[in-house]
Amino acid sequence: MEQAEFTYIATQGPLHNTVNAFWRMVWEYEVTLIIMLTQCIENDVLKCNQYWPEDNMQWDYGDLTVEGFNETKSVNFTRREFRLYRAHTNLNRDVSKINSKSPVKDQPKRIVEQFQYTAWPDFGCPENPEQMLKFLAKIRSYYPYATKPESPIIVHCSAGCGRTGSFIALDQINENIEKSSVVDIRGIVASLRSARPQMVQTQEQYEFIHEAAGEMIKRELVRRKILPDKDTEYETTKGRRKRKLSLLTSTNTNEASDTIYEKRKTRSDHVAYIPMDVMSTRSPPDTNDSQKDK
């Protein structure tokens, strides 16, 4: 399996006593992209502090200043841009009141982007892969796989385990599908869990990764004109994902020989048609951790 080109930093969501260290990590590793997979408060429980300033505001975090600008909201995610400065003051400032000749304006700065996905429920998964794949596609429209990264990508949820691991696994799977013909889902998840305990924590998350991978593969085969372009219908009933796929076949026997499909059922009753050269298993490497996803 081809190794992913992108390097990730999986971390917990910043809290009031760790937010300065979080931005120091962003500065020291020259990070330009942050993926946030939680809301600050979920089910009346604090999951992550708001560690960024609003638009046209500057907040100081230790010796770093973060200026917020250009926030755009979509249905399931929000994109924000920040300017990051080295600072030597401890004031929160309204940027609109700063003189253009202020020393702060002359400081060397970096641009950091944050994508916050807001439709991943606590202790669960997105209702269907479509939402997450649109989110992933939007990120990669700004950071394509073909561009060799110069800095790691920070990914966090609350504890930095379940949702974080699931997203990183999906991003690596998507990159491998684009670059090669073999995707080792179990191997990717096992590798993540060996690097950071409890990455991809639940059976439901593991099944969701397989479901999303099946859709990624189908789209790639359609893009390569190996399969006809047919829509996939999704519906959700009583919190259980159900997937309806038409069995896609190729009229060209040479193409069909390269795209043999195997029908797989999982405990969540979704049915996926996945190329048989995709190495996978129904059971995750180890999902018996006592702590659930945060």
Q: Mind telling me the catalytic residues? A: 157
Assigned token pair, 21: 């260290």
Contact 261, 170 (CB under 8 A): no
- Which residues make beta-bridge pairs with 243? 234
Whole-number Å distance between alpha carbons of 175 and 172: 5
Name which of 57, 63, 46, 60 is nearest 12 in CA terms.
46
Residue 63, burial from CB neighbour count under 10 angstroms (0-12, 13-18, 19+): middle
SS3 of residue 135 by DSSP = helix
Rounded Cα distance, 120 and 123, in Å: 9
Rounded Cα gap, residues 113 and 83, in angstroms: 9
Closest CA to 186 of 85, 287, 96: 287
Coil vs helix vs strand at 183:
coil
- Distance of alpha carbon 293 from alpha carbon 199, whole angstroms: 9
Pairing assessment for the beta strands 8-11 and 153-156 based on DSSP bridges: parallel
132: left (phi over 0), alpha (psi -120 to 50) or beta: alpha
Q: Which amino acid is at 159?
A: A
The whole-angstrom separation of Cα 224 and Cα 120 is 31
